[in-house]
Amino acid sequence: MRYKFILIIFLVFWGVMITRLYHVSIKSNFYYEGLAKDNVERKQYIKPVRGEINDINGNLLAMNRIGFSLLIAPHLKAKSDRLSAVIDTLVETFPDLNKTVMLKVYKKHNSPYNHNYIKVVDFIHYAAMMGAYPNLSLVENLKIEAETKRYYPYGKISAHIIGYTGRSNRKENKKDAVVDEVGKVGKSGLERHYNHVLQGELGYEISKVTATNKAIAVLEKEKPKDNKNIRLNIDIDLQKMIYERFAEQTGVAIVMRTNGEVLSAVSYPSYDPNMFVGGISTKDWKALQNDLAHPFTNKFIHGTYPPGSAIKMSMALAFEKAKPNILANSEFCNGHITIGKSSHKFRCWKKYGHGTVPLRKAIRESCDVYFYKKSLAVGINAMAKNLRTFGYGVKTGVDLPREYSGIMPDQAWKKKRFNKSWYRGETVIAAIGQGYDLVTPLQVARNTGLLATSYLATPRIAREVDNKVIAPEIKHIDLSPQYLNEIRRGMYDVCNTPGGTGFRTMSKLPITVAGKTGTSQVTSIPQSTVHRLKEHELAYFHRSHAWITTYAPYDDPKYIVTVLVEHGGHGGSTSGPIAADIYKWLFSHGYFHQDGDSMPADNNATVGENTTIDIYTEQEIRKVKRKAVKRPKPSSLDLF
């Protein structure tokens, strides 16, 4: 037993010795060999040049300005004469530089383990450097490197689309080696969404160096992969016209082909993205944050609004999906409805009602009672489910970061959000785009394309990414041809017949437009109120949001124009003129004479055997317009 114990101790001892010998003589060799190699070889990364962003016509929307950065050799003592001499020379040459900041940056990055030059000045413009370069190139311990700085020529006009680049943080550096080396990353807009493309790929150079880190030979070199450019569907001239057209109004305008190509997307007011490139000041940041018009918010994907009457066309189709042929029956409107034994009145916008209302009239005159009654027969769950199929309450898939999905509420949503039951009264409010309903303007534009063509397209801002064309993404939605055609006729009436809420602004255009106006309330109206105040009589932030969403030409849809004016009051009188000016611009610049890739409308769909649904021909449209010689006096309650 004693011998076995001694034998075990002997084996354990020699096992430990052999393991240790292996570790020291073999395994550690790779580690120390690597250290030795690091002492004779130096790998330096070569930063790629960030790709540019162009509009459809080749105009530069994001470009790189050429300049220089200034770096100081490492291992200089903080209070040494050599460091002070370099800093003083820089301040004398460029008086705007801050000596204290440069010293602070140098001290932060200087250490015995850092053998790389330390950047103390990020960017000096090319013109400013040219006169000083001969003298600075002779300064000991100073290194001058070529540098680029992002610049946005159109500033505020394209800010919410293009976004901006800024200094990267630790989290961003950790996730991406290129970002870590470059120190800059796309923070918003296309700059963020396509950052992985625009930033390119690092190059490198491996050099043989001396003990003092001086390069004596280049062993290997790989050029960076850069200049990966992006070309957009955006027409910056159209974008500029719309931006300037908004003037003092706050809101959104979107112009899109029916295949999803976004020609313009304006969120007004905006901000100058150039403020963020080198780091925004605290004063400027607070000014943006405290502005009640929210210029920093991208309203076409981050602004969520009650859709109001702009949702009624899709709401009708949601009814039909849930209960086939429910739209065949007209509804009688006497100005309000009540539910059960409750005395609460859910009122129509027209005080004394619309009388007998079929589907087409319900769209043309935007009768609320029609939708109240249909919604009670269908229920909120079916309504919400079908509306999501039509693009509401879900992200559009546009190539911009952090898009909001909005809200299409149902019973489960309310239970989860508020832990409360759903009430039937909330169903009728949701049916006219109020209550919990929230949508983004881009969802409304996309849905309008569905109404025009029966296809739901994914909005696309980029046309070509690194010379690769992005194909449209279009999905056919099965809709009732009969009732969809009636809805289109109702939308035609809105813009082209006397009494239509968009007639005054849309009927005299060089092309035939179909659309829907809408007013979404931001404050409730008490039951005790007998006579509503007019929109212009309300305080600004109590006024309703004004919608208009349209497509054209009516018989061959190619373009969608959706406009929202925040607290604008009436869709027809406030958003309508902006939409009309957009169509005039498109027509005068040849857009309606181009053969685009827009989706054709499914206007002649067969409903049943030997049954075809008609639409207005251009000849019939002109005939109707000739009859409409006298414009009606606008209603004081032109809300829808």
For the segment 483-539, what is each residue's pLDDT rounded down to a tens digit?
A: 999 999 999 999 999 988 899 999 999 999 999 999 876 655 444 444 454 544 455
**What is the pLDDT, as a whole number, of residue 33?**
57
Helix (H, G, I), strand (E, B) or coil at 493: helix
pLDDT (tens digit, 9 = 90+) per residue, 577-605? 999 999 999 999 999 986 555 555 554 43
Q: Check: CB of residue 230 under 8 Å from CB of residue 464.
A: yes
Residue 19 pLDDT: 78
Residue 572: which of 635, 521, 525 has the closest Cα?
635
The answer, yes or no, to whether residue 553 has pLDDT greater than 90, is yes
CATH superfamily of the 44-232 domain: Penicillin-binding protein 2a (Domain 2) (3.90.1310.10)
Q: Which pair of structure tokens corresponds to residue 441?
A: 């303007």
CA 334 to chain centre: 42
Query: Domain segments of the chain: what residues?
Result: 44-232, 302-545+602-627
Whether 166 and 150 have beta carbons less than 8 Å apart is answered as: no
Residue 55 in contact with residue 234, Cβ under 8 Å?
yes
Q: Is 460 exposed, middle or buried (0-12, 13-18, 19+ CB in 10 A)?
A: buried
Separation of alpha carbons 635 and 614, rounded Å? 31
Candidate CATH numbers 3.30.1950.10, 3.40.309.10, 2.60.120.310, 3.40.710.10; the one for domain 302-545+602-627:
3.40.710.10
Q: Which residue has the tokens 């413009």?
A: 125
Give residue 614's pLDDT: 40
**Other C-beta atoms within 10 Å of 579: how many?**
29
* 153 in Cβ contact with 61 (< 8 Å): yes
CA angle 388, 517, 162 (to 5 degrees): 65
Burial (0-12, 13-18, 19+ Cβ within 10 Å), 66: middle
d(CA 71, CA 115): 12
Mean pLDDT of 369-384: 97
Residue 370, beta-bridge partner list: none
How far apart are the C-alpha atoms of 53 and 462, rounded to whole Å? 9
Q: Which residues contact 575 (CB under 8 A, 6 or more apart)?
A: 251, 517, 546, 547, 548, 563, 564, 565, 568
Structure-model confidence comparison of residues 294 and 18, the more confident one: 294
Cβ–Cβ < 8 Å for 449, 476: no
Amino acid at 347: R
In three-state secondary structure terms, 377 is helix
Question: pLDDT value at position 253?
Answer: 97
Count, residues in the chain: 640
| pLDDT on residue 113 | 82
pLDDT at position 621, please?
45
CA distance 270 to 295: 4
Between 583 and 621, name the one with better pLDDT. Answer: 583
The tokens for 466 are 């690194």
What's the predicted TM-score (pTM) here?
A: 0.83
Four-CA torsion 313, 254, 435, 447, nearest 10 degrees: 30
CB distance 516 to 500 below 8 Å:
no
Cα–Cα distance between 549 and 156 in angstroms, integer?
24
CA 344 vs CA 104, 349, 425, 435, 528: distances in Å: 69, 16, 9, 16, 10
pLDDT at 540 over 70: no
550 phi and psi, to 5 degrees? -140, 165
CB 498 within 8 A of CB 631: yes
Average pLDDT (248-273) is: 96
Token pair in block for residue 497: 């017949």
The position carrying tokens 């006024």 is 543
Q: What CA–CA distances, in Å, run from 367 to 275, 387, 491?
A: 48, 19, 13
